[in-house]
Amino acid sequence: GAGVSQSPRYKVAKRGQDVALRCDPISGHVSLFWYQQALGQGPEFLTYFQNEAQLDKSGLPSDRFFAERPEGSVSTLKIQRTQQEDSAVYLCASSLDMNTEAFFGQGTRLTVV
């Protein structure tokens, strides 16, 4: 595709529900990142993949957060037993390789009620 695609664009979840957020990176991009952005703040790093390998998950807030990229392309960020503090915009970005410009998707706005 022409850019990074994320789905859904908006997700409302009841507290305690599990959610799965999808990211389709730009074809051929080796690196894939997930970020969390709260209102009025910059994106906060969650996790990083190089191909299918998850090289850094230091930013994941708790063990309720899990990300995968099994075939080195599409990635899914899963949040189990959602809490109100999980409400945020979740951004996915991809790049040709690490330390090059990152291309961001439009994000998924998650609201936990």
Q: Rounded to whole angstroms, how far apart are CA atoms 33 and 101?
A: 12
- Of 70, 36, 65, 66, the closest CA to residue 53 belongs to 70
Contact flags string 20-59 toward another protein, x per CB under 8 A: -----------x-x-x----xxxxxx--x-x----xx--x
Residue tagged 């930013």 (tokens): 59
18 token code pair? 């599990």
Among 4, 67, 77, 79, binds another protein (CB under 8 A): 4
Residue 67 makes contact with another protein by CB under 8 A: no
Report the C-alpha gap between 40 and 26 in whole angstroms. Answer: 27
Shorter beta-carbon distance to another protein: residue 7 or 83: 7
Query: Interface with another protein includes 93 (CB under 8 A)?
Result: yes
Least Å from the CB of residue 6 to another protein: 8
